[in-house]
Amino acid sequence: MRSKSDKKKSLVPRLRFPEFREAGAWEKKRLGTQGGFLTPLSGKSAKDFDAGDAKFIPYMNVFSNTFTDIQDLRSVIITDDESQNAVAKGDVFFTVSSETPEEAGMSSVLLGDVDRCYLNSFCALFRFDDHLSPNLIFLGYLLRSRSVRCHLSRGAQGATRYNISKLVFKELPLVFPLAKEQQKIAHCLSSLDEVIGLQAKKVQALKQHKKGLMQQLFPAEGETTPRLRFPEFREAGAWEVRRLGEIGKISKGKGISKSDIKPNGALPCIRYGELYTHYGEVIRDVVSFTDANPGNLVLSEENDVIIPASGETKEDIATASCVSVKGVALGGDLNIFYSPMNGMFLAYYIRGNLKFEISKVAQGNSVVHLYTTQLEKLKLAVPPYPKEQQKIAHCLSSLDEVIGLESDKLDALKNLKKGLMQQLFPQEVA
């Protein structure tokens, strides 16, 4: 059994600003002693939503945002004779149900007033009593800290879906330092979030730039000349329209089952689902490995283009990646295209201006298929000079490298915030 001094130590964060290092332990309070729960929207049917002049906060707004996004609201009909609880500045929203215990009880704090706005019926609405509310920005980060998330995850009950009772929320232990320390922590983390937000916008802007560039560098549907061309190729003439089957050979990989995947396997491999979850247009590093006999598999050569043979949606299947390394085992639900064409060029082309064409010929509903015979008939315009293919591929892959570097910076900032959160809040609060 822990002594009182041990319990006091657990209420002190590992990292503290210099001026608060002698300020003593934080004060622990149960959420239920600080206010009460109000009923969210009730008595509504489907016809009441996405109409009317009142607003409501959707479930995913609460789930995804530490602080409620007041731009992400939907309409709802609220009549004058209804008794509904409008939300107010300082309210805390919790999701009460989720697919996993780790995602249950996600919180969001409302930082401002919104007129005639209500909370969706799948979330819980908590309101602090007068004069008991802490610094709202500090509160938002506290409710997403490790100790709070652990308490709520442990309290989630269920099988296919996990629910949290009001009692679990009321027993939630919260720890508070003095107001000035709350403000300092809030300022530190919100400043870091601003930097993260700016970096995220930078990454998104680069991705949008790439999308626009791809639309310009490849001919639009029904055209044979791209709108944007490098100076040395502006007088090179129109691109030649050919079928994919005329340019190279298409075949299929061989089956690699889930049980064949081994973390320490000797042979790198790619299965169909990974093509649209892990990889971009160029595959340089492979994430899966197998111990299967290479003699029973189809292995890639450098410059091969991989296109799914099946997928869940037509968007998933309308993708392609160029393997820049040889000797990768390719799964049975993958089409492999061998040709003298620049593989990177073709992968960018398929993911860009040919995406719609591929989705049109794909077949199926619950499972979508793309057969080699369909791919062979796919028409595309090919630059007359291989150097133009190479130039376009180099341009887009260089941009991808920049996007990758900026994305890595974004991930590093997010990890920095995660580490700070673990240090700035006490970790063991029972």
Interstrand relation of 117-119 and 97-98 (parallel, antiparallel or unpaired): unpaired
Q: Tens of pLDDT along 201-238?
A: 999 999 999 999 999 999 988 899 999 999 999 999 99
For the domain that residue 78 is a member of, what is the CATH number?
3.90.220.20
| Spatial separation of the C-alpha atoms in residues 37 and 83, rounded to whole Å | 16
Q: Tens of pLDDT along 251-299?
A: 998 888 888 888 888 899 998 788 888 899 999 889 899 988 888 899 9
Stretch 72-84: mean pLDDT? 94
244 and 161, same structural domain? no
Is position 228 within any domain?
no
64 and 137, same structural domain? yes
Residue 7 scores a pLDDT above 70 = no
Of 23, 84, 20, nearest in space to 57 by CA: 84
Is position 17 within any domain?
no
Is position 339 within any domain?
yes
Number of domains within the chain:
2
Is position 231 within any domain?
no
Stretch 154-167: mean pLDDT? 92
| Spatial separation of the C-alpha atoms in residues 356 and 314, rounded to whole Å | 9
- Predicted local confidence at residue 3, as pLDDT: 52
356, 221 in Cβ contact below 8 A? yes
Residue 261 forms beta bridges with which residues? 290
Q: What is the pTM of this model?
A: 0.86
For CA atoms 342, 343, 344, 346, give the dihedral sign.
Answer: positive
125 and 36, same structural domain? yes
244 and 165, same structural domain? no
139 and 53, same structural domain? yes
342 and 260, same structural domain? yes
Domain boundary, last residue among 382, 399, 420 = 382
- Predicted local confidence at residue 2, as pLDDT: 53
331 and 250, same structural domain? yes
- Predicted local confidence at residue 294, as pLDDT: 87
307, 253 in Cβ contact below 8 A? no
Tokens of 237: 């003439």
252 and 133, same structural domain? no
Domain boundary, last residue among 123, 148, 176 = 176
Q: Which residues of 264-289 are buried (b: 16+ CB within 10 A; e: fewer)?
A: eeebbbbbbebbbeebbbbbeebebb
Find the domain containing 258 and state its range.
Answer: 240-382
368 falls in which pLDDT band (50, 70, 90)? confident
Domain boundary, last residue among 349, 367, 382 = 382
245 and 376, same structural domain? yes
Is position 134 within any domain?
yes
286 and 159, same structural domain? no
36 and 162, same structural domain? yes
